[in-house]
Amino acid sequence: NYTINHVSRLTKWLRTEIAPDKASVRHAVNKIGEDIFELLLEAKKAFYESMPYLSVKADAYGIDETEKTDKLKTLADVKVLYESVIENRDCVSLKQLAVGGNDIIKAGLAKGQGIGELLEYLLDIVLDDPTENERENLLRRAKEYKEV
């Protein structure tokens, strides 16, 4: 089951493009999963390196040399950004968020399914800017969100 799960997830995300900026990398790690992200980068590298060069514009069977070089460069940039995200311990999941469901309930901001919706909203903010991941700041943001 473990192997099937990992291979299925890697296959699903193999052709997904990841923009070479920190916010995009954090969002990708969140969506793809911390447990396979680095492995996905290695699989993407092997995938691109194994593609044949075509002398004409790329089609379903391969990519041209320039596109291949560009994809490998972008992938290398993404890997450096990913390593920085990990080194900085940037928040990439709900479990790393400075607030949790109990904080939302205690503040009287949401109940039931509304808790998850509010936490996802806050996570999205933090994925864009990790400096936002402070308890008081997130509770303030949550109150502002509920007022809209």
Q: Tell me the pLDDT tens digit for each residue of 2-31.
A: 999 999 999 999 989 999 999 999 999 999
- Which pTM was predicted? 0.88
Question: For 33, which DSSP code?
Answer: -
Residue 52 carries which DSSP code?
P
Kindly state the average pLDDT of the residues 59-79. Answer: 85
Q: Is pLDDT above 60 for 137? A: yes
Both ends of the chain: CA-CA distance in Å?
44
The pLDDT value recorded for residue 16 is 93
The rounded mean pLDDT for the chain is: 92
Q: What is the pLDDT of residue 59?
A: 56
Q: How far is it, in rounded angstroms, from Cα 27 to Cα 124?
A: 8
Written as one letter, the residue type at 45 is K
- Residue 33 CB neighbour total at 10 angstroms: 17
Distance CA 25, CA 14 (A): 15
Q: Which residues contact 92 (CB under 8 A, 6 or more apart)?
A: 26, 29, 30, 34, 85, 127
